[in-house]
Amino acid sequence: MMIRRGSLLGSLVSTTTAVRSRNLIVVLAGVLVSCGGADDALVPRSGELAANLRMTVSPQGPTGPERVRRVQCAVLGDEAIDPRCRVLAGLEPRDLDPVPPRMACAEVYGGPGIARVAGELRGVRVSAEFDLTNACEIARWRRNAALLGAPGLGHGAP
C-alpha cells in the first residue's frame, strides 16, 4: 500500500510514529533517572553520610540470637526522610565512648544482653561494645537506645 504524504492516512501514520517515538524517549529518560548514578543528588556517596552504622544486638547474651541492623543516613534529625535517621538527631560519636575505667558504678546487673556498633557517625569512625553488667553500662545503653533498643529488650530501634 502506497501512502502519500499529503493524505489523511499519511498524516495519521506520521503522527502515530511521532507519538510512539516521543513515548519511547520519555520511558528511556525515566529509566535513566530512576537508576540514579554516582552524581545523583539524592543518593549520597558513602563518605558523605551523616551516619553509616552497623548494630549487632544479642539480647540473650553471646550465645543467643543476634539482630543485625544497618542504618545509612544522609542527614540526621527532622530533615531526614527515614524515621531511623530522625531518631538519631542528637547522637554524637562521644555518646558511644566507653565508661571511664575508674568510674564508680553500682553493681546492678541488667541482664545478659550485649551489643556492638561500628561504622561512621558525623564523619568520625566509631566502634563500641555494650553490655548490662553494672549501672554505668546500663545508663550508657539507655543513652544509646535510639541505636540499640531498650536495655534487655533487644532491638526496638533502627
CB count within 10 Å of CB 5 equals 8
C-alpha cell, 89 = 538527631
Query: What are the pLDDT digits (tens) for 89-144?
Result: 989 999 999 999 999 999 999 999 999 999 999 999 999 999 999 999 999 999 99
Task: Provide the pLDDT for residue 19.
Answer: 52
For residue 140, tell me if it sits in a domain.
yes
The two beta strands, 67-73 and 114-121, are unpaired
Q: Are residues 87 and 122 in the same domain?
A: yes
Task: Provide the pLDDT for residue 152.
Answer: 67
**Rounded (5°) CA angle 62-65-69:** 100
How far is it, in rounded angstroms, from Cα 74 to Cα 77? Answer: 10
- 114-121 β-sheet, strand order: 67-73, 51-58, 114-121, 124-131
- Domain of residue 19: give its range: 1-35
Q: Are residues 85 and 7 in the same domain?
A: no
Query: What are the pLDDT digits (tens) for 140-158?
Result: 999 999 889 888 654 444 4
Q: Are 85 and 69 in contact (CB under 8 A)?
A: no
Total domain count for the chain? 2
Can you tell me whether residue 158 is helix, strand or coil? Answer: coil
Residue 23 confidence (pLDDT) above 80 = no
Q: Are 147 and 55 in contact (CB under 8 A)?
A: yes
Residue 56 confidence (pLDDT) above 90 = yes
Task: Provide the pLDDT for residue 150.
Answer: 86
Q: Are residues 94 and 26 in the same domain?
A: no
Can you tell me whether residue 113 is helix, strand or coil? Answer: coil
Name the pTM for this structure.
0.66
For residue 41, tell me if it sits in a domain.
no
Q: Are 58 and 153 in contact (CB under 8 A)?
A: no
Q: Are residues 10 and 88 in the same domain?
A: no
pLDDT category at 36 given cuts 50, 70, 90 is: very low
Q: Are residues 31 and 53 in the same domain?
A: no
For residue 157, tell me if it sits in a domain.
no
Residue 69 confidence (pLDDT) above 70 = yes
